[in-house]
Homo-oligomer: A and B are copies of this chain.
Amino acid sequence: MLCSLRCLAAATMLCHTAAQAQPMFSAADLQTSTALARAAEQSGLAYELVDSLVTEIGPRPAGSANDARAVAWALARLKALGFSNVRAEEVPLRAWKRGEAHAHLTAPFPQPIVMAALGNSVATPKEGLHAEVAYYADLEALKADTSERAKGKIVFIDQKTERTKDARGYARAVAARGAGPAEAAKRGALALAIRSIGTDRDRLAHTGATRYAEGVAPIPALAVSVPDADLIARLQRYGKPLKMHLSLQAEGGIAGTSHNVIAEIPGSDKADEIVMIGAHLDSWDLGPGAVDDGAGVGIVTAAAQLILDSGAKPRRTIRVVLFANEENGFDGALGYAAKYKDQVHQFVGESDLGAGLVYRFQSRVRPEALPVVRAIAEQLAPLNIALGSNEGTPGPDAGLLMRRNAWPALELSQDGSDYFDWHHTANDTLDKIDPLKLRQNVGAWAVMSWLAAQSHISFGPMPKP
């Protein structure tokens, strides 16, 4: 990286200015922050909430009976914890429902295939379909194919997911799931199968939402487990036709409702400004959603509860939002964005990358607020959290709100190295969560939320990208 003399001079001036500036927070506010971090070390609430949610409710896909039970659960728990304005706000949605699904290879060798339909997949005919498999190493290879090779076949995309600390490996791979079916359908394929978007090597398929393109007839879409994808890749080497029988039942477009569940700690002199910390209440149907996103539900709720129980009165209103249907349509976030678009949000944030330790604090605030961000970072440093950039992304629902309403955002980046081992699978169970790591998360969210609520400087509007 090059740095001119002028740039060096400017940096020196900035440091000088910062050193002489007034402290960003009062001594009392900093004391409260320290007390919150300490209290989090003893807090078992986040884990207790995830335990309760996965044990008493389990899988809770949006619009399902279990989703409604989860909403009732959340209302009861948030009320019992003593929050104000606890409410469920209705969210209309179109639900998708999985049916029976089976796949097996018939050639060159008979082999069972562990698979799961992708969310929103259409069904095969009742009797299933049987076709040759057209193998593509990744989505780019399919996109680049201008031949007729995919026509009348089951397209298989062998897209691999790289293990990364952040969600970068996932982000690079997931287009195969989102765009694969449309790309295959455009080329006349009968169905689309992908290697599961996941970093594990378990015989469990990863579901997740897919979408179809307008003007292209939708085709059944599924993910096979990683070891089954390995098998298909090995079978390619035999140079013989590979055939699959596929039967997949599913029903989409089911009119339903769910609810965003909201709880607040009312502010004092800036009560009309919102510090919004969120997670999503729904899960995919294959597992009980412990890391996705029971962990987030536990973390942000326990963080707010620490502030509530500290007795300290925040200046801004701290609002916990448990979003509806993050997994398959963002209906909760869309509803929230529309309903609250005129309400000032100091920041929006979301915990939705599992239960790993927070290692980084990032922001997306106007430049004038960066000194506050740095002052918050100082309070997060004892939790082993480093300051990142001002190009943070605050999780899926909060990210949608940030982009749609130009609301500023704060991000607590979790170590997601193992998150995509379990994400969207039956394996997303309570045993994947380390209670001690949750406590560090709770401390970080409590400190960040408290200090942002007290800041004399407004974070918004979000800077233009």
Footprint of B on A, CB under 8 Å?
51, 55-59, 66, 109-112, 114, 201-204, 226-227, 230-231, 234-235, 287-288, 425-427, 429-432
Contact = CB atoms under 8 A, between A and B. Distances in A.
Contact of A111 (B51, B58, B203): B58
Contact of A427 (B51, B55, B202, B430): B202
A204 B202 CA distance: 9
Nearest to A427: B203
A227 B431 contact: yes
A394 to B, nearest CB: 30
Nearest to A237: B55
A27 B203 CA distance: 50
Given A202-B427, A203-B204, 12 more contacts: A51-B234, A55-B109, A55-B235, A56-B109, A57-B109, A58-B109, A58-B110, A58-B112, A201-B429, A230-B430, A231-B429, A231-B430
A111 to B, nearest CB: 5
Contacts of A66: 110
5 contacts: A58-B110, A58-B111, A203-B287, A227-B430, A230-B431
A109 B110 CA distance: 39
B55 A114 contact: no
Question: Of A56, A57, A110, A202, which is in contact with the most chain B CB atoms at under 10 Å from its CB?
Answer: A202
- How many copies, total? 2
Nearest to A59: B112
B201 A202 contact: no
Nearest to A226: B431
By Cβ-Cβ distance, the 10 closest A-B pairs, closest first, are A227-B429, A203-B426, A201-B431, A203-B427, A58-B111, A55-B234, A56-B109, A227-B431, A202-B202, A230-B431
Contacts of A432: 201
A291 to B, nearest CB: 12
A227 to B, nearest CB: 4
A206 to B, nearest CB: 12
Question: Of A57, A59, A230, A426, which is in contact with the most chain B CB atoms at under 10 Å from its CB?
Answer: A426
Contacts of A429: 201, 203, 227, 230-231
Contacts of A227: 427, 429-431
Nearest to A58: B111
A426 B227 CA distance: 10
Nearest to A230: B431
Contacts of A112: 58-59
Contacts of A114: 426
A450 to B, nearest CB: 33
A427 B112 CA distance: 13
Contacts of A204: 202-204
Contacts of A58: 109-112
A435 to B, nearest CB: 14
A200 to B, nearest CB: 9
A100 to B, nearest CB: 11
A114 to B, nearest CB: 6
A287 B113 CA distance: 10
Nearest to A429: B227
A433 to B, nearest CB: 11
Contacts of A288: 111
A55 B425 CA distance: 25
A69 to B, nearest CB: 9
Contacts of A203: 204, 287, 425-427, 429
Nearest to A428: B203
A288 B113 CA distance: 11
